[in-house]
Structure 1
């Protein structure tokens, strides 16, 4: 299958070209020319299947023309070596826990899959010295860094906004060393993302370093996130629930939501999606008014959603042929303040014993406001609450336990490169460190 650019002025690319390049030459995002519709029998069969079996089937539909089936099965099995359980929180409302991977965040799925797919393509091309750039507002950096750690021939630069990620998140990508370089930017996530995009537009830099991206702008990062939507449906179906299902998604750069919309196009019978925003609410504003007005992000308790110019908005526009009416018919939007998020973490923990992280709390709130009689709701719990230890403990008034895997990161020494948010400084650092 070929991939086209959302800006419509770049030549079509193969999957290999789209993954290795990351961003199209015209600064657009790659989209598959076709979205395969899965057969009706698939949805009855997955009721009896685990996450890796489901993911292998979906991956074969998405990528099976471009990668040998046995190699694709190996990539999926190796990437998804952890559980993704659906947990009942209250009557008619479930959390899809996406934080049981090695870095305790949902981005383990896409990042681990992409690392393995990119490694496969690099080996096929006989390339050496691929440089991966990734901007993070928290969990992307740790998932990508750990997914690529030790992969031969690939060097990873993780850009993150100074003072705007949690201590545990920062420890997960600044303590690894080896082929991982942490770059601390004096600015916001949007500044980090702009530096990555500027690097891709620098032809000389691209030739010299063979750049690619591991953000959700890369098709190998966001498309595999569709796997767990099918897995969530299968788990509900095993409970006898397969109709009137709605899903609430914490929304920042919109990669997670876009993956869910792709799953729906592939036949997943989801009634509608809910985009949960914090105070960085440009997508919420678009849903209400049809106007898209990106602006600098502001810092909130749900830091992974602190995005003022979400890249994957372009993919959503393209998917719906730029129709605001069509988009808003499939997606409703809600926004919440830090105070509302903190309050619901406290209330849900007290009433049900379930502990929310700030991002899952935002999605829970949106689901509660949107859910109608007869509907079953799923919200995505995208990170382990311990990754936001201080914030969550302040909400519930008691100490929470840090999983051993997270605690290990906190004991290691951190190493970062500190830079201003101008491209000249970043470009120079990239060349000197590569």
Structure 2
């Protein structure tokens, strides 16, 4: 399997090189040159596997230059940190199947990919006798999961930018209470989109990127998306065995388009997903795109689901590549137009194609809290606010002909304020959060300025 850039300037690179490159050197995002196609028999066989073996089989299709024994060891080490034996269990509550993705070290779906990616980075860097400086921006969960995956690893420093005061208190503490010497937390005086723009601008300077061996741990990195493809196959297998249905719908709360893009890849591989339901909050650039062809910047507003308080979706460019018939020049022009004008235009034919791939709904804050409240009253199950957005969208848009799987992207204890507003009490804290407020913290405030971040990197890079 070889990899190419969405912008056409990079092609023919190996999986190992794609992982270490992160953002392509031409500014695009890396994708496999071909997507494996699985038969119904292949999918039936995969659906019976335990999670680690399933992960090995799926990832192997894309990582041909990684020795099988090494890949198995990396997977076993990565998912050995999860607290549930099924890794990503599926539970049935009030007519929907909830795929619980929050049993990793930081209680969020990002752990599924970032525990693997952290171990993969360390393996590749030791193999090549290289060092790396990870640079990433987070709206909340990516930062803590990335830090948990990288802390204490050999040959790597990690620099995470988060928007000052705009993550949940628990999300911030999960980052800032990690004081390992290879971890650097930077609170940016701006929004997530400001932080993400700084990261992309720095990565766009190829000479600087190479000089300081910068690597990407957020969903810019293809390995992140690949690891998330696995749990779509896992959930399908569990629900298919329970119901006998040959198709399922997936409802996916998403702000950065990475999680639902993993589902799109699974579908292209042949997984019988009938509908991919894109669920978002008031920061609804993605929902407007799917429903009306309106991909235009709005103003970021704060909501009870802060990890989706995003207006510029990093992974949208990967889908755009397929929407524009895999034409790298067209993608390059489209992204230049978006930087200049803050919007993209799509033909009626393209809009029809998007609506074949996705349904979408924007769920506001009051609807989110009402969903948490009603679901709890019926089932005693506590949804986090992002999962509640997915449950609401799934119920409103799924046709009822087949089961609906809602991705539970975080443990409710990470968003205690929202849960308290909805059900009148705090969610139960898992052991990993006990006493987190009392731990030592390390974080530096920094202006939303690219040069300031570059200077900090220069001073602290390994």
SS at match of 2:389: helix
| Equivalent residue runs for 1:72-151 within 5 Å | 72-81=71-80, 82=82, 83-91=87-95, 93-128=96-131, 130-151=132-153
Of 412, 415, 422, the residue aligned with 1:385 is 412
Could you report, residue by residue, the CA deviation over 1:72-115 in whole angstroms, capped at 9, with x for unpaired residues?
A: 11112222233211111113x11100001111000001111111
Alignment match, 2:421: 394
SS at match of 2:136: strand
Relative to structure 1, the CA distance from residue 296 to residue 422 in structure 2 (aligned partners, 3 Å threshold; closer, same or farther) is farther
Cα-Cα RMSD: 1.4
Supply the distance in 1 between the matched residues of 2:13 and 2:438 (Cα, whole angstroms). Answer: 44
Alignment match, 1:234: 237
Alignment match, 1:319: 322
Supply the distance in 2 between the matched residues of 1:377 and 1:412 (Cα, whole angstroms). Answer: 40
| Equivalent residue runs for 1:242-261 within 5 Å | 242-261=245-264
Could you report, residue by residue, the CA deviation over 1:156-182 in whole angstroms, capped at 9, with x for unpaired residues?
A: 001000001111111111111221110
| 2:245/2:402 contact within 8 Å kept | no
Alignment match, 1:22: 22
Supply the distance in 2 between the matched residues of 1:175 and 1:293 (Cα, whole angstroms). Answer: 37
After TM superposition, give the deviation of residue 378 of structure 1 in Å: 0.6
Alignment match, 2:266: 263
Relative to structure 1, the CA distance from residue 68 to residue 315 in structure 2 (aligned partners, 3 Å threshold; closer, same or farther) is same
Alignment match, 1:361: 388
| 2:2/2:11 contact within 8 Å kept | no
Q: Where in structure 1 are there 5+ consecutive unaligned residues?
A: none
Supply the distance in 1 between the matched residues of 2:190 and 2:43 (Cα, whole angstroms). Answer: 45
TM-score by length of 1: 0.96
After TM superposition, give the deviation of residue 296 of structure 1 in Å: 4.1
Q: Is residue 349 from structure 1 mapped to residue 352 from structure 2 by the alignment?
A: no
4+ residue runs of structure 1 moved beyond 6 angstroms? none
Supply the distance in 1 between the matched residues of 2:171 and 2:51 (Cα, whole angstroms). Answer: 26
After TM superposition, give the deviation of residue 292 of structure 1 in Å: 1.5
SS at match of 1:73: helix
Could you report, residue by residue, the CA deviation over 1:317-349 in whole angstroms, capped at 9, with x for unpaired residues?
A: 223445332221120000011111011111110
Alignment match, 1:182: 185
Could you report, residue by residue, the CA deviation over 1:332-368 in whole angstroms, capped at 9, with x for unpaired residues?
A: 0000111110111111101111111000000000001
| 1:296/1:309 contact within 8 Å kept | no
Relative to structure 1, the CA distance from residue 408 to residue 59 in structure 2 (aligned partners, 3 Å threshold; closer, same or farther) is farther
| 2:126/2:155 contact within 8 Å kept | no
Q: Where in structure 2 are there 5+ consecutive unaligned residues?
A: 326-349
Relative to structure 1, the CA distance from residue 251 to residue 416 in structure 2 (aligned partners, 3 Å threshold; closer, same or farther) is same
SS at match of 2:62: helix
| 1:110/1:225 contact within 8 Å kept | yes
Supply the distance in 2 between the matched residues of 1:363 and 1:342 (Cα, whole angstroms). Answer: 12
TM-score by length of 2: 0.90
305-314 or 242-251: bigger deviation: 242-251
Of 186, 201, 207, the residue aligned with 1:198 is 201
Supply the distance in 2 between the matched residues of 1:41 and 1:17 (Cα, whole angstroms). Answer: 32
After TM superposition, give the deviation of residue 240 of structure 1 in Å: 3.3
After TM superposition, give the deviation of residue 408 of structure 1 in Å: 4.5
Alignment match, 1:166: 168
| 1:195/1:421 contact within 8 Å kept | yes
| 1:249/1:380 contact within 8 Å kept | yes
SS at match of 1:62: coil
Alignment match, 1:10: 10
| 1:5/1:12 contact within 8 Å kept | no
Alignment match, 2:282: 279
After TM superposition, give the deviation of residue 11 of structure 1 in Å: 4.4
| 1:38/1:61 contact within 8 Å kept | no
Could you report, residue by residue, the CA deviation over 1:261-311 in whole angstroms, capped at 9, with x for unpaired residues?
A: 111111111111000010111111111222321344222110111110101
Relative to structure 1, the CA distance from residue 163 to residue 230 in structure 2 (aligned partners, 3 Å threshold; closer, same or farther) is same
Of 446, 456, 461, the residue aligned with 1:429 is 456
